[in-house]
Structure 1
Amino acid sequence: MADYEIFVLGDFVLQCGKTLRAAKLAFKTFGTLSPAKDNAIVYPTWYSGQHTENEWLIGPGKALDPDKYFIIIPNMFGNGLSSSPSNTPAPWNGPRFPNVTAYDNVRAQHRLVTEHFGIEKLVLVTGWSMGALQTYHWASMYPDMVPRILPFQGSAKCSRHNYVFLEGAKAALQADAAWAEGWYTSPPTRGLRAFGRVYAGWGLSQTFYRLEADLTHMGYASLEDFLIGFWEGLFYERDANNLLAMLWTWQHGDISANDTFKGDFKAALGAIRARAILMPASTDLYFPPEDNAIEAAAMPNAELRVIDTWWGHFAGGPGTSPDDIKVLDDALRELLASG
């Protein structure tokens, strides 16, 4: 049985000018919505991840405590549970799935929160990586609804350097002959494995590998064991078209790319009135702290708080670094306690 619910959006018009027919948004909740509907937190998913891979940050006694808060995890379009290339009927299936932006994702999530649950104001929005991108969108698009945000290891706009990294991962996947321009009849497994190996050099820091933390902290027998077991394994069973749909969303992430801000990135950041703690990792190769420093300077109520870590981007990954998770949990607890 599925451990999530479906919110039916109907025919959902996207920023690209195409309609996602019978669009659906998969979500899971933790805790109980209070009678006043004033205890809700939104915690979006990340690139390729599904709600189950967010659950490590939730639990009794943690900052995201379901005994106190009503926590909503909406699954991003393209992740295989919400509307995605792999589950959308023809003619919009596979590589014909329309381009979806983070703005589209957050508009859909806003409908879930307001129409399905009747919530008018949230307590917090938080998220890792592409979840952080959606967090920035929430605060910029709905400033009256979002009093606090904590985006971790992510940014409000995909940098040019980040875009280039993603081009390399995409090219590795599409080089598999089985890719067949997206009309594959069996998974392009060589491409998926290559995709994971490209990721391996970016998701963790140089210091992580220098310390051989794959052996000492993650229990792998050798570097090759780690590359296959962790990185190839992370993507091997994902759908290739789903990965590429979410990759497009990532590359085109920009909180100012909409009719409200018309590309004025500084104005979009300035519209965020929420109290914000921006938490990059000191060694993140995707989202270096200087990107968040630029964002914090343009936000009226933001603090830059860099996690000093050698875990790179995965300082905020699914439960990989206990020390960094404690730093994050403490910051969430502090932010939630603030007025």
Structure 2
Amino acid sequence: MLIDLIKCHGSNNDFLLIDETERNYKFDDFKRRDLALALCDREKSLGADGILFIRPSKVADAQYRIFNSDGTEASMCGNGLRCAGRYVCEKLGVEEAVIETLKANLKVKKHEEIFSDIPTYQVEISPVTFDLKDLPLNLEQDTLLQEKIPALSEELIFTALAVPNPHLTTVVSKEQLESELQTELSEKVNQPNDLFPDGVNVSFIRLLEKGSIFVRTYERGVGYTNACGTAMSASALVTCLMNENEMDQPINVYNNGGMVQCAVHKEEGTYKIDLIGNATFVYSAQIEVDFTVKGMMAEILEQEDFNENIQYEKLQDHAKEYLSKF
């Protein structure tokens, strides 16, 4: 089978984008899982954090589904949504669109550049819930807002929320960020455990200065990535609830892959977050896939670079220079 794809990234959280509306691939979820497991392997194949599947929608401009590198499906991915949103907008010749995700129909639109010559898109991150049953997190309480979980740590203070992916966040010091604490904690809650039966994304947040934070995330189903869009959005919201940052104001969120901006809004008692950042296309390719071979075989037939990563590297250098001050 011939498959056309685009390698893309948001804050170097990288994906393979496959448009199922262009060809009648007739993928079922088993084939989507197998494609993710095979193509996302960085040692044996193209390598990526996941695959974005663009599909037709009856309720929006397009539907997108994301399968992680371990073959599991995620509810949503903010960095991936920017890439999918750019693709759909450019395909339709528009500057804004609505994308159907598993939990909600979300707005995406072209935005003024976050950095010179960087294709930038704004996506809506919602719904937001603090109900522990929505993560789920098994505690004898309804919410967890700036509280300890003694079974996990006696020193960290956590907030749990779903946006709609489940997130466990904590504000940490530089020393805690550089320790093995996050790895140990993340592996514990993403293996069979009583607290998080479905696992959870774990974010360590470091406050830099007013309007700027650093976020590192261990993603459920992936592990450490350069950035996680919903995690950065959740983290920005948490810092606003702590009065460390302001509602309705852009917050610079730095990550290992660069930076984005988040703006937190509260409307009629509910929160939504604007996630603004790059949607960089790396290359387009055509591959030949043989599903009949155990483990699946894939061969690259054609590849063409977009040359957009050169400019993105300048944003990365800017971010590294800023972070070196802290």
Q: Decide: shared fold, TM above 0.5.
A: no
| TM-score relative to the length of structure 2 | 0.30
If each structure's strand is expressed as a fraction of its own residues, which one has the higher value?
2
If each structure's helix is expressed as a fraction of its own residues, which one has the higher value?
1
| TM-score relative to the length of structure 1 | 0.29
